[in-house]
Amino acid sequence: MDQCRTATIAGILAQLVSTERKATVVDPLPKAELHLHLEGSIRPETAVELAARHGTKISVQEVAARYRYSNFAGFIEAFKWVTSFLRNPDDYALITNRLLEELQRQSVIYAEITISAGVMLRRMQNVEANFAAIREASQTVVFSRIRTNWIFDAARQFGADAAMEVARAAAKLHRDGIAAFGMGGDELSFPAVNFRPAFDFARSEGLRLVCHAGEVGGPESVRDAVDILGAERIGHGIAVMRDKALAGSLATRHVVLENCLASNLATGALAAQTGKPEASLEDHPLKMLLDGGSLVTLSTDDPAMFHTDLLTEYSRAASLGLTDRQLIQLAEQSFSAAFLPPEDKRQLLDTFRAAAKSAGLL
C-alpha cells in the first residue's frame, strides 16, 4: 500500500476515534445486533488484563497504539496480536462478560455473536471448553435481559479442510447454542466452490448459513456466496452497489446484507468498492441500498478495533440522510433477519414494535 493510501486510512481512523455521537430515535429502543465478532470486541483495558494473566505487561496506551493501524494488514496484525492473549476458557469468559455489559448498556436484547472457531482450532485450543465458558458467562442473571445465539466462523484463508473442521464443531454444539456456520477472513484467498462441502454439511445439520462477501471482493463474490454456498445473510455485501441487478435479485430472494459503516471505512473496503482512495462515510451505499429495497441490517463488526459501538453506527447512518422511519426500518430488520424460530422472532419483534409505538415512532 502506498504512502498516500496509508495516510488516508490513518486519517479515517483518527476521525472514527474523535467523532462525537449524536443521539437518534433508535437509542432508547430495544435492539438486535447480528454481525459482531467476539474477539473484535476486546477493549484496551481488557487486553491489558488478559496479557497480565499470561505474564505480559502492556499498557492501555500500547493497545490503543496497536488499534491505530494505518492499513488493512495492520488491522489483521492487531487482531492476531490481541487474540494471542486468549488462551483458555477463562479468557473467553472475561471478554464475553465485557461485551455483554456493553450490549446491555446500549439496550441490545438480542445478539448473534461470531466466534473465531477456526482460529481456536488452528491454535489447538479446546473449542468445546472455550464455548462452554462463553455460554456460561452469557447465561448469568445479570445478562438475563439479553438473548444470545452464536455463530462459528471459519477463516477462508485457512482453506477448505479447516472450514469443514469448523462446520463439524458447529454441528456438534448446535443444540448448545451454535445457530449458524459462517466464513470470514481473506475473501480473495480461495474461490467459494472450495467451501461448498463445508456449507452443505452445515446445512444438512440444521445450521443457518452466513458468509462474508462483497467486502473487498466484487459483486461476483456475493453471487457465489449465495448461489454456490447458500448463504442466507451476507457479511458486508457493499459490492452490490456496483450491480443493481444483483441487488434486486438478493432482495427478491430475501438475502440480507449486514452493513458495518466504521469497519468499511477503516479497512479500506469502501475505498476499494468506490475506487476512491479518499472515500468517506458519505460514499457508503447504505442509504442507496435501503432506498432500492435491499434488506439491510446495521452492525459494528469488530467494535473495539474500529472504535465504535451500535449507537454510534446508528448515528453515522443518520448522518447519511436516513430518515427516522429508515432508522426504525434498519433496527427492525435486525430482528427480522435473526436466525431464530418464527415464534421466538415474533416475540422479539413484538417487543421492539411496542417500544417504538410507545415512543410515537410507529
292 closest CA partner among 339, 326, 328: 326
**How many CB atoms lie under 10 A from the CB of residue 217?**
21
Residue 144 and residue 138: Cα distance in Å, rounded? 8
CA distances from 310 to 69, 132, 159, 303 (A): 22, 26, 32, 8
Q: What are residue 37's DSSP bridge partners?
A: 114
217 closest CA partner among 234, 229, 199: 234
Residue 86's SS3 state is coil
* Residue 215 annotated to the active site: yes
Catalytic residue, from 33, 215, 232, 332: name it. 215
Residue 305 and residue 68: Cα distance in Å, rounded? 8
Residue 314 and residue 155: Cα distance in Å, rounded? 28
Asked whether the CA dihedral 244, 245, 247, 248 is positive or negative, the reply is positive
| In the block, residue with C-alpha cell 493501524 | 69
Q: Which residues of 153-191 are buried (b: 16+ CB within 10 A; e: fewer)?
A: bbbbebbbebbbbbbbbbbebbeeebbbbbbbbebeebe
264 closest CA partner among 302, 228, 218: 302
Residues in the chain: 362
Burial of 209 by CB count in 10 Å (0-12 exposed, 13-18 middle, 19+ buried)? buried
Residue 147 and residue 346: Cα distance in Å, rounded? 14
Which residues belong to the active site? 215
